């Protein structure tokens, strides 16, 4: 029952039978080696749709990773909401410099014609380019995974994370106003990505949850309803990626409606599987720094096979791939998956 890459990923996300566990990245894939190969480097690739698409496709073409994941930062929505953004360098991702709503949500508004603002048209055009290039020829039926900030990440950029954490306790009405507005922005952006050709959206949103400073009651009664709204209104497969040790939060997160949850290496796969049950699939969680960046291909293979044996539904790095990660180590991920199946037979 051999499946093409897109069908394999969608079936895996839906919990349907698959011929092989997908091996890919749901987080950023731009590396310096790929930038040099393609001539599409940061920071230009953050703002040029052709360069963005070229670099994204190269991660599949030169490593064998079974999806195309783009863009390469978590500042697109923050920028259109008024944050100043430093665009970074060839090795450093864009970062937010200012927090325009650090005093509160009094003037918080969703911009008119949201999808025409900032770099959103760049990402949408890159989606169209990638869709055209993955529908025919050697790269046909390769799934497109569009990354986007989640509402908590946008909120932390707008108000600064220390205020976000304080307001969860002292001004819950601020928290609700911010997260409601940010959720609506995320819904509109996600649905527009699907309309332009994305097959899956991945929403990294771990700054506050992963800090372990958010009370569990806030996650359950304040964050969960907004996540459920996002999942209900977004018309396509949705992945939630959370950094940090979120083992205690996984049961609640799995009840929100995401098709899958991506975890980093701090989380036990066995414990995570027990926490989420069959409510969502589990993605992860080879260490992007210790193993993929600084390890050898053999070390990558060993850790990847441990993840597979522990029960991940999709094999992937536990977080964004560091720009200096060797291509040989990314290739080793796919080789490990293939060898694991051969060793089982």
* Rounded Cα gap, residues 205 and 59, in angstroms: 23
* Rounded Cα gap, residues 342 and 42, in angstroms: 38
Which of left, alpha, beta for 15 (phi over 0: left; psi -120 to 50: alpha)? left
Q: pTM for this structure?
A: 0.97
Give 197's DSSP letter.
T
* Rounded Cα gap, residues 33 and 54, in angstroms: 13
* Rounded Cα gap, residues 227 and 232, in angstroms: 9
Could you read off the pLDDT tens digit of each residue along the chain, which spans 345 residues? 578 999 999 999 999 999 999 999 999 999 999 999 999 999 999 999 999 999 999 999 999 999 999 999 999 999 999 999 999 999 999 999 999 999 999 999 999 999 999 999 999 999 999 999 998 755 668 999 999 999 999 999 999 989 998 898 899 999 999 999 999 999 999 999 999 999 999 999 976 776 556 777 888 988 999 999 999 999 999 999 998 888 889 999 999 999 999 999 999 999 999 999 999 999 999 999 999 999 999 999 999 999 999 999 999 999 999 999 999 999 999 999 999 999 987
Q: Which fold has domain 5-13+26-337?
A: TIM Barrel (3.20.20)
For 1-47, the DSSP string reads ----HHHHHHHHHHT---SS--B--SS----HHHHHHHT--TTGGGT
């Amino acid at each position: 029952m051999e499946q093409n890459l897109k069908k394999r990923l969608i079936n895996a996300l839906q919990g349907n039978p698959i011929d092989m566990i997908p091996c890919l990245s749901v987080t950023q894939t731009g590396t310096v080696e790929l930038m040099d190969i393609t001539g599409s480097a940061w920071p230009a690739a953050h703002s040029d749709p052709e360069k963005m698409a070229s670099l994204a496709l190269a991660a599949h073409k030169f490593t064998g990773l079974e999806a195309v994941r783009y863009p390469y930062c978590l500042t697109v929505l923050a920028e259109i909401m008024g944050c100043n953004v430093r665009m970074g360098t060839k090795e450093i991702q864009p970062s937010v410099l200012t927090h325009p709503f650090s005093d509160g949500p009094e003037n918080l508004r969703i911009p008119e014609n949201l999808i025409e603002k900032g770099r959103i048209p760049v990402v949408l055009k890159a989606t169209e380019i990638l869709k055209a290039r993955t529908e025919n020829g050697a790269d046909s039926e390769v799934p497109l995974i569009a990354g986007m900030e989640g509402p908590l990440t946008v909120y932390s950029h707008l108000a600064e994370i220390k205020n976000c954490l304080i307001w969860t306790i002292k001004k819950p009405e601020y928290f609700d106003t911010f997260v409601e507005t940010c959720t609506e922005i995320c819904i509109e952006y996600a649905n527009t990505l699907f309309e332009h050709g994305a097959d899956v959206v991945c929403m990294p949103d771990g700054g506050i949850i992963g800090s372990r400073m958010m009370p569990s009651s806030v996650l359950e009664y304040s964050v969960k309803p907004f996540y459920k709204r996002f999942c209900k209104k977004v018309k396509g497969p949705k992945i939630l990626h959370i950094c940090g040790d979120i083992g205690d939060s996984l049961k609640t997160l799995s009840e929100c409606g995401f098709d899958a949850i991506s975890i980093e290496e701090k989380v036990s796969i066995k414990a995570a599987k027990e926490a989420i049950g069959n409510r969502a699939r589990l993605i992860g969680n080879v260490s992007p720094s210790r193993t993929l960046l600084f390890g050898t291909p053999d070390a990558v293979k060993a850790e990847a096979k441990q993840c597979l044996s522990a029960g991940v539904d999709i094999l992937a790095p536990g977080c964004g791939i560091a720009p200096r990660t060797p291509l040989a180590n990314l290739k080793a991920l796919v080789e490990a998956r293939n060898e694991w199946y051969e060793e089982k037979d």
